Amino acid sequence: MKPILYEDDCAPDAREYFEKDLLKITHMNIREFIDTGSFEEKDNGMTLTWQNAEFILEYSGDDPYYRLYRL
């Protein structure tokens, strides 16, 4: 899968812009997505994913930034 949205690891305000774009695409902020999505741990807890009917939100401990995928 290729991400449709990813948090820029270089910008100091990357999380703010990611969340703004996430809200436009999914109509949820990060907290709402995490609270309502089904949760799964992969790679011994290094990768965390939350999934709803249309999207997957991923956070990796190896590269600590969010990514959004469309199902």
Cα 22-24-25 angle, rounded to 5 deg: 65
Residue 67 is predicted with a pLDDT of 95
Residue 45 is predicted with a pLDDT of 81
* Residue 2: pLDDT over 90: no
Residue 17: CB partners within 8 Å, gap ≥ 6?
8, 11
* pLDDT tens figures, 13-54: 999 999 999 999 999 999 999 999 999 998 888 899 999 999
* Residue 1: pLDDT over 90: no
Q: DSSP letter for 43, please.
A: T
